[in-house]
Amino acid sequence: MDRLWSPWRLEYVTGNKPDTGCVFCNAPRPPHPDSLIVFEGKTAYVILNLYPYNNGHVMVVPYRHTPSLASLTREEAHELADLMQLSEAALTEAYQPHGLNVGVNLGTPAGAGVLEHVHMHLVPRWNGDTNFMTIVGETRVLPEELGKAAARLKPIFEKLGR
């Protein structure tokens, strides 16, 4: 029998997360070795999702702690849009996905996990990535560790973002 181990997800699925404040405001910044930030802009940054749906799942996040799109400044909104375009290009180069899901979850009924700090998701998708593991086993198989994904994406973001 094969076993699929993902012990890093236990904290997430059991809800036993310590309250350490806003995950986006407290995200370790580069060059911290545990940083999942793959690109930093002036008013926003791009970070790998700690609990991804697929490899390469990134989020575009304003530095300022603000809860909604409507509360963004014009400069923040424009940079979020620019970083979404940059993320699409970087993910396409790094992973060659067949498609991307792009979205914002505002409010608990919409699926927001972090209500108080708006952020945008970009999730690479491939034909056939929803298979029996996801449908029957309610389990996602992610073949790349987050640190390796960050190492893959950072140079691409740097090249494309400058």
User: Domain 7-161 has what CATH class?
Assistant: alpha beta
32 in catalytic set: no
What lies within 8 Å, CB to CB, of 68 at 6+ separation is 106, 118
Domain ranges of the chain: 7-161
What's the pLDDT at 67? 96
- Strand spans (E) along 21-91: 37-40, 44-48, 58-62
Residue 78: the pLDDT is: 98
Per-residue pLDDT of the chain (162 residues; tens, 9 = 90+): 556 666 666 666 676 666 678 999 999 999 898 899 999 999 999 999 998 888 999 999 999 999 999 999 999 999 999 999 999 999 999 999 999 999 999 998 888 889 999 999 999 998 877 654 454 456 666 778 899 999 999 999 999 997
Instruction: Exactly one of 65, 117, 119, 121 is catalytic; name it.
Output: 119
Q: pTM of the prediction?
A: 0.83
